Amino acid sequence: MCGIVGYIGTKKASPILINGLIRLEYRGYDSAGISTIEKDGLSIMKDKGRVNNLYNLPGIDDLEGTIGIAHTRWATHGKPSKENSHPHMDNSKAFSVVHNGIIENYNELKKFLTDNGYTFYSQTDTEVIPNLIHYYYEKDNTNDDNKFLKAVKNACLDLKGSFALEVICKDFPENMIVVRKDSPLVIGKGNGENYVSSDIPAILSFTKDFYLLNDLEFVILSKNDAKFYDKDLNMIEKETKTIEWNASSAEKDGFEDFMLKEIYEQPTAIRETIGSKLNENSKCEFDELNFTKEYLNSINKIYIIACGTAMHAGLVAKNVMEKLCKIQTEVDIASEFRYREPLVDKNTLSIFISQSGETADTIAALKLCKEKGAKTIAISNVIGSSITREAHYSIYTHAGPEIAVASTKAYTSQVVLLTLLAIYFAEILGNSKDIIENLKKDILDLPKKVDETLKDSEIIKNFAKKVYQEHDIFFLGRGIDETVARESALKLKEISYIHADSYPAGELKHGPIALIEKDITVIGIMTDPKLVDKTVSNIQEVISRGAKTLIVTNQKIDSKMFDLVIKIPETNAFISPILSVIPLQLFAYYISKEKGLDVDKPRNLAKSVTVE
Ligand code: M6R
């Protein structure tokens, strides 16, 4: 969580930094701040609340500095307030620092520094960092050019936890030092200028050439150069990576919100994800993996591990993995998996899904599986993200930048990619040939059918208008539809703040039906021909207790029974979630709009959860 941006070049830094912060606001919006080097030393401006508050501070336009760092905060230690806002300075006001991550041993460091005469003005963990840098800087009696770098390095080696840092120093007005450990940070290479950011889209309009950093690599940036060092301060070489994303894909393109734009980008996202692995009449190709039949036969279990929506994509994939590959597949929440001593060994294949590639719990679960000898595959939407650098193998969804906190196009692209992965395994194993041929055709037809599904938005908007003031909404489904019920409930609660719950429809009468009362809204999803009659019966049970019902289905059902039926195109049951989730993404979106909420930046949430 938290977003950081940096600029060093010949232009005024402040407008560039504020522009970057606006794009990174999805990572946290409790406060925002900026620090530049001005003619008379370091300047800091910061305020509680959104970047807009910072932008409106008197004097912000007068900043002339061409080097600066900036931060948008998702509060962890200390309440959202001006004092706790970044940047933070050391007591002597020589160093200014922004930080994304958590310093786990900050109490211990604070005590050490207090004992050495330092005073603290905030409740943050971050404030120890500039003071620790100052401590090492003062201890160093040399005057060599690397004095600033050495102080930052020594301070970082004392830190436990995660950090992405930008540091500027009044004595080195031509340099900025950046470093990361377990928190995201990229460097954008410009012409006579360099940029730093927590993610690529925030600075994509300035450059397409990026340096990606590994843990504890230190960088001295100047306007014309970037010098890289390992943790022993040996110089290292780094190549830039060119990112093909289009800068306009990180803009709203005329849509009111990023979420709506991203919902409508799903046909393209899915088409591109399919196109990267499958062509008509061909085998599924995953050149990055190159797995053999012998290896796949040796697998005792597949674990799919992720958080939130990405985990829901895993739940969809369990079905297709087990059916096509005949390998037991378990899906786990990363933060739970890590702490329950999972049975993983060298014959386990573990797959980690993360749109951002920066989710701390998912990365930690991956590290655990590696330690236990398992092969690891990362599925991410962000090239070069942390998780892809940890995993043995990485494969990518091609959804383009996803900015809205609520994940939409990443989820459907993940489901597509996982289905293709299951096909790839099954083709090597020589399993399920007939099913695969039909499934491939259905996959290739998906972009067209997603387009069709998106056409129902007006009907959904009208239904949302009727129910947006409700306090509880329930989602029911069976089999694969139950996974969509979970995802839809998550979507609704995160952006509308309505209590939403999902249940396997058959489980209703074992308890949850006690919650059903007159006029409550229940949403049913029915796409599996084998289960549709059973689900209809379960929905009847709630109708007879007075519930209003919205049904999403591709089956022939008696529409008169329900308040609203959204028909979606028919497709293979394995991939039906890709279509059935879409009306419910729109439903959540329109409810949030009716309530006048900030759809893209829901309260208390951040796009990538880089703390555990
Ligand atoms: O970047 P990741 O896919 O690892 O993120 C995982 C979850 O934090 C994320 O899916 C979250 O649940 C979304 N806000 C849901 O819309």
Q: What is the pLDDT of residues 414-445, one digit of tens each?
A: 999 999 999 999 999 999 888 999 999 999 99
Residue nearest to atom 4 of ligand 1 (CA): 354
pLDDT at position 249 is: 67
Q: Can you tell me which atom of ligand 1 is nearest the CA of 380?
A: 3
Fold of the CATH domain 455-594:
Rossmann fold (3.40.50)
**252-431 and 455-594 share one fold:** yes
H or E stretch at 52: helix 51-55
Give the integer Cα–Cα distance in Å for 407 and 380: 13
For residue 162, the model assigns a pLDDT of: 86
- Tell me the two tokens of residue 461: 């908007």
Q: Is the pLDDT of residue 33 over 80?
A: yes
Q: What is the 3-state secondary structure (H, E, C) of 345-397?
A: CCCEEEEEEECCCCCHHHHHHHHHHHHCCCEEEEEECCCCCHHHHHCCEEEEC
Output the CA 194–ligand 1 centroid distance in Å.
30
298 C-alpha vs ligand 1 centroid, how far in Å? 32
Which pLDDT score is estimated for 104?
A: 87
Domain definitions of the chain by residue range: 3-249, 252-431, 455-594
Mean pLDDT of 326-351: 94
The structure's pTM equals 0.79
User: Is-contact 225 214, C-beta < 8 A?
Assistant: no
Q: Is the CB of 521 under 6 A from ligand 1?
A: no
Residue 184 has pLDDT above 90, yes or no: no
Q: What is the mean pLDDT of residues 79-96?
A: 94
Q: What is the mean pLDDT of residues 584-589?
A: 98
**pLDDT tier, 515 (very low <50, low <70, confident <90, very high otherwise):** confident
CA distance 405 to 85: 22
Q: In which band, very low, low, confident or very high, does the pLDDT at 248 lie, cut at 50, 70 and 90?
A: low
Handedness of CA 449, 481, 587, 599 (dihedral sign): negative
Atom of ligand 1 nearest to the CA of 362: 4
Q: At residue 325, does pLDDT exceed 80?
A: yes
Q: Is 609 in the pocket of ligand 1 (CB under 6 A)?
A: yes
Residue 539 contacts residue 505 (beta carbons within 8 Å): yes
Q: From CA 52, how far away is CA 511, in angstroms rounded? A: 47
Q: How far is ligand 1, taken at its centre, from the CA of residue 16, in Å?
A: 28
- Asked if 38 and 173 count as a contact pair (C-beta separation under 8 A), the reply is no
Specify the CATH class of 3-249 in words.
Answer: alpha beta
**For ligand 1, atom 16: residue with the closest CA:** 406
Residue nearest to atom 7 of ligand 1 (CA): 308
What local confidence, expressed as pLDDT, does residue 247 receive? 67
Higher-scoring residue by pLDDT: 313, 247 = 313
Q: Which residue has the CA at smallest separation from atom 11 of ligand 1?
A: 308
Measured in whole angstroms, how far is the alpha carbon of residue 237 from the centre of its chain?
29
Looking from the CA of residue 407, the nearest atom of ligand 1 is 16
In this prediction, residue 36 carries a pLDDT of 98
Q: What is the mean pLDDT of residues 500-527?
A: 91
Checking if the pLDDT of 609 tops 90, the result is no
Q: Active-site residue numbers?
A: 2, 607
- Architecture of domain 252-431 in this structure: 3-Layer(aba) Sandwich (3.40)
CA–CA separation, 453 and 445 (whole Å): 13
Average pLDDT of the segment spanning 437-466: 94
